[in-house]
């Protein structure tokens, strides 16, 4: 029984909208805690994993820092510093963009690709484990979240 009322020991909410905000914040914390534990052995954070996924999605094409920023889950995050962290770990390369010297092209390295591959299966299983819903319910959740943001 995972009711939010029990989880945070709050018996009533002002209205279902207020409850939904609290429920989303709490569920996020639940997810990130689980994800962090999953990535910890690889010495990588959930956000760093996400940046690597974005880069792999480019199929080897270089991606600028601002393009990474646009695709990040958290728009207020800082792609520049995350790329720097991944570079010191040897997961990405940074190159000056030939057509615009303001921009910086970022490419995932072989080491980065192999890290993603080694995590792929685990992440798939873990996602299913974290989310205790059947197929219809998870599709319904995706529909509601998309609609929620308008």
- Specify the stretch interacting with DNA by CB under 7 A; choose among 6-14, 82-90, 118-126, 138-146: 82-90
Closest to 66 in 3D by CA, of 28, 122, 93, 106: 106
Using CB under 8 A, list all residues that contact a second copy.
Answer: 2-4, 7-10, 14-33, 35, 46, 57, 70-76, 123-124, 127-128, 130-133, 135, 137-142, 144-150
Q: What b/e readout covers 109-137, taking b as 16+ CB neighbours within 10 angstroms?
A: beebeebbeebeeeeeebeeeeeeeeeee
Q: Taking the CB of residue 5, how many other CB atoms lie within 10 A of it?
A: 14
Least spacing, CB of residue 111 vs DNA, in Å: 17
**DSSP strand pairing (104-108 vs 92-96):** antiparallel
Residue 48, interface with DNA (CB under 7 A)? Answer: yes
Contact at 8 Å (CB) between 42 and 56? no
Q: Of DNA, a second copy, none, which one does residue 40 interact with (CB within 5 to 8 Å by kind)?
A: DNA
Candidates 6, 100, 124, 137; binder of DNA (CB under 7 A) is 100
Candidates 8, 21, 37, 145; binder of DNA (CB under 7 A) is 37
Q: How many separate helices (H) and strands (E) can be counted in the chain?
A: 7, 3
Binding site for DNA (CB under 7 A): 29, 32-33, 36-37, 40, 45, 47-48, 64-67, 69, 74, 76-78, 80-85, 94, 97, 100-104
């Amino acid at each position: 029984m995972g009711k939010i009322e029990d989880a945070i020991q709050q018996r009533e909410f002002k209205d279902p909208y207020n409850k939904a905000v609290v429920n989303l914040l709490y569920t996020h914390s639940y997810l990130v805690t689980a994800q962090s534990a999953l990535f910890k052995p690889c010495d990588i954070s959930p956000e760093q994993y996400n940046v690597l996924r974005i880069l792999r999605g480019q199929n080897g094409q270089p991606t600028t820092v601002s393009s990474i920023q646009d695709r990040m889950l958290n728009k207020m995050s800082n792609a520049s510093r995350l790329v720097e962290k991944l570079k010191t770990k040897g997961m990405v390369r940074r190159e000056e963009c030939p057509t615009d010297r303001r921009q910086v092209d970022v490419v995932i390295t072989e080491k980065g690709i192999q890290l993603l591959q080694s995590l792929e299966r685990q992440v798939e299983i873990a996602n299913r484990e974290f989310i205790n819903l059947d197929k219809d319910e998870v599709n319904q959740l995706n529909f509601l979240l998309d609609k929620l943001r308008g």
